[in-house]
């Protein structure tokens, strides 16, 4: 904690009070960062000529940023969101995945693609 923040929180008696105060101070930034990450993910589309691994790294960065800012996105929803960003070239792969309902992580999906 920086010296300035430490000085501001000297009167707080418990860690919980400090955490609550920090949440008040920085909560809006967290909400905005989470919103921006999810918006970026929902607007992300694979561009022609961009390798799938590069695209997946971009998508995974958006997901990571959203989760770092307290977004709760389960694994199945993450996969659905990823599939929505892929080009039409992956429609057959997505259909196969949906038929088999194979559980996989984002890293495993990237290897499969």
Q: What is the pLDDT of residue 86?
A: 94
Asked, for residue 16, whether it belongs to a domain, the answer is no
Number of domains composing the chain: 1
Burial of 109 (C-beta count, 10 Å sphere; 0-12/13-18/19+) = buried
Q: What is the pLDDT of residue 108?
A: 84
Note the pLDDT tens digit of each residue in 44-102: 999 999 999 999 999 999 999 998 888 888 988 999 899 999 999 999 988 888 888 77
Mean pLDDT of 2-6: 60
Asked, for residue 22, whether it belongs to a domain, the answer is no
Asked, for residue 13, whether it belongs to a domain, the answer is no
Note the pLDDT tens digit of each residue in 10-49: 665 677 766 666 666 666 677 788 889 989 999 999 999 9
Range of the domain at 73: 31-112
Asked, for residue 23, whether it belongs to a domain, the answer is no
If one counts every other C-beta atom within 10 angstroms of the C-beta of residue 12, the result is 14
């Amino acid at each position: 904690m920086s010296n300035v923040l430490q000085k501001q929180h000297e009167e707080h008696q418990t860690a919980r009070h400090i955490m609550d105060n920090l949440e008040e101070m920085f909560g809006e930034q967290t909400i905005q960062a989470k919103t921006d990450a999810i918006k970026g993910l929902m607007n992300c589309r694979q561009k022609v000529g961009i390798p799938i691994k590069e695209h997946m790294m971009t998508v995974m960065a958006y997901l990571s940023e959203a989760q770092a800012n307290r977004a709760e996105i389960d694994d199945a929803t993450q996969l659905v969101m990823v599939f929505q960003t892929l080009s039409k070239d992956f429609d057959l792969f997505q259909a196969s995945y949906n038929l088999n309902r194979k559980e996989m992580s984002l890293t495993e999906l990237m290897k499969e693609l």
